[in-house]
């Protein structure tokens, strides 16, 4: 790489601007909830959020457009010219905080401001991806998966449906003024990128507990999402003897406990969660005839993750058979673990070191749009701490001054890569 002197920014000014943007986007016109951040694809509050960023980037002289399904793109170079990609997503969990995702887009905007103010003239392309959180359509990293062609047309026309009204993604996109029939063209928003960095809150407490202000991500954990449905027989809770019951909730409960054991046994950073439990008929005086649990298994080692899921399915079937209950597994989605690019990670590590602030290398246990981009573009991520690791909650909090430090590191990493 060429030698260069890292630029130093005014952290207080950058932190103030980042805080102002984040606070503005927590206002009532940008969320469906009064006590949390709730915004997702094709809602009026999501449209208002895109308009906020569009206006801000155009004020900086950027060309702004949306792809055929609504991923937002801002460029300071003509299409066809090479640029470095930055950004994240601005949708939220349905009971979310104001930092998750949005901070990454706000910081990308601030990097563009700094690039102009400091006269660096770096070639930049910012992206805010559609529907990362699955709040609108129950599908994580949906916008970036469309860009990466990790969905097909039948998914968009029929299989992926809105949580609110059950209508297909395709129809919602059409009604919002987009052209889903051109969805394959979304891939072109990555065509000119020489690299990509996404800033995000950690969503854990490793940085906080270790005293590090920056975390350079070298891999993103893969995940398997699925459901196990236990079908028994609903009977009277008082009149049915214990020996003749077909209680679907019991093997479901055993399976949840086994999921924890299997995740621990798999090691290699594997984690397992049963975050949804649905019991029917759902009455205090009725034996559950139907129970569904969700399965979320994640980790940086795909073999460990998939091995735990296979073992869990076998356990559920065996535990159910002992109680005259059936267990059926259905996969929702599987995404492989994603290593980050060594060159981009190296540049980001050097830039983090140049801040003279504590930093570390780490793995992301959460899914991010970057895992879809990385198959096409050399990519990395940068984490900043969030208080007590809280995320996907209104209690979520990050320090703008940490985001300012992250903006400086990313700016210098881009300089390193584009100078080489």
Q: What is the pLDDT of residue 3?
A: 59
Q: What separation in angstroms does the CA of 249 have from each of 242, 256, 286, 322?
A: 14, 11, 11, 13
Res 2 pLDDT > 70? no
The owner of tokens 């910081």 is 107
Helix (H, G, I), strand (E, B), or coil: what is residue 179? coil
Residues 170 and 342: their CA atoms lie apart, in Å, by: 37
Tokens of 326: 């059936």
Consecutive H or E run containing 411:
helix 400-419
Q: Look up the CATH number of domain 222-335.
A: 3.30.70.360
Q: What is the pLDDT of residue 329?
A: 98
**pTM listed for this prediction:** 0.89
Sign (positive/negative) of CA torsion 195, 199, 202, 207?
A: positive
Res 288 pLDDT > 90? yes
Q: What is the pLDDT of residue 1?
A: 39
DSSP 181: G
Contact of 393 with 97, CB cutoff 8 Å: yes
> Rounded mean pLDDT of 246-261?
98
Name the residue ranges covered by the structural domains of the chain: 11-220+338-419, 222-335
Q: What is the pLDDT of residue 333?
A: 86
CATH superfamily of 11-220+338-419: Zn peptidases (3.40.630.10)
Res 325 pLDDT > 50? yes
Residues 412 and 4: their CA atoms lie apart, in Å, by: 9
Average confidence score pLDDT of the chain? 97
Q: Per-residue confidence at 411, pLDDT binned at 50, 70, 90?
A: very high
- The proportion of the chain whose per-residue pLDDT surpasses 90, expressed as a percent, equals 97
Res 4 pLDDT > 80? no
- The proportion of the chain whose per-residue pLDDT surpasses 70, expressed as a percent, equals 99
14-69 tens-digit pLDDT: 999 999 999 999 999 999 999 999 999 999 999 999 999 999 999 999 999 999 99
């Amino acid at each position: 790489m060429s030698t260069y002197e890292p630029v130093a920014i005014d952290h207080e000014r950058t932190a103030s601007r980042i805080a102002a943007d984040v606070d503005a986007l927590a206002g009532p016109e940008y969320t469906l909830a009064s006590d949390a951040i709730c915004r997702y694809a094709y809602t009026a509050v999501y449209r208002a959020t895109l308009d906020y960023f569009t206006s801000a980037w155009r004020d900086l002289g950027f060309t702004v457009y949306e792809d055929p399904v609504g991923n937002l793109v801002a460029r300071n170079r003509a299409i066809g010219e090479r640029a470095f990609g930055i950004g994240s997503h601005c949708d939220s969990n349905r009971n979310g905080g104001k930092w998750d995702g949005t901070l990454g887009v706000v910081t990308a905007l601030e990097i563009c401001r700094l690039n102009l103010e400091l006269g660096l003239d770096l070639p930049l392309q910012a992206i805010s991806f559609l529907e990362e959180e699955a709040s609108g359509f129950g599908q994580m990293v949906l916008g970036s998966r469309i860009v990466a062609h990790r969905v097909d047309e039948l998914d968009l026309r029929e299989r992926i449906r809105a949580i609110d009204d059950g209508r297909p993604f395709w129809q919602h996109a059409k009604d919002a003024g987009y052209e889903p029939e051109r969805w394959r063209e979304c891939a072109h928003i990555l065509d000119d990128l020489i690299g990509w960095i996404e800033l995000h809150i950690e969503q854990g407490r490793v940085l906080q507990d270790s005293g590090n202000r920056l975390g350079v991500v070298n891999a993103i954990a893969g995940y398997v999402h699925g459901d196990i449905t236990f079908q028994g027989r609903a009977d009277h809770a008082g009149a049915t003897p214990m020996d003749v019951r077909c209680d679907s909730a019991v093997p479901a409960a055993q399976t949840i406990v086994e999921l924890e054991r299997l995740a621990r046994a798999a090691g290699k950073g594997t984690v397992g969660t049963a975050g949804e439990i649905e019991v029917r008929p759902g009455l205090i005086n009725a034996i559950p005839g139907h129970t569904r649990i969700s399965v979320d298994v994640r980790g940086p080692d795909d073999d460990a993750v998939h091995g735990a899921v296979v073992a869990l399915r076998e356990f559920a079937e065996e535990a159910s058979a002992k109680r005259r209950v059936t267990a059926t597994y259905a996969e929702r989605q599987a995404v492989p673990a994603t290593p980050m690019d060594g060159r981009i990670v190296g540049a980001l590590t050097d830039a983090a070191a140049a801040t003279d602030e504590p930093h570390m290398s780490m793995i992301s246990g959460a899914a991010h749009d970057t895992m879809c981009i990385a198959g096409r573009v050399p990519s990395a991520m940068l984490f900043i701490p969030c208080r007590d690791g809280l995320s996907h909650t209104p209690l979520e909090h990050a320090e703008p001054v940490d985001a300012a430090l992250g903006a400086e590191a990313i700016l210098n990493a881009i300089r390193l890569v584009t100078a080489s």
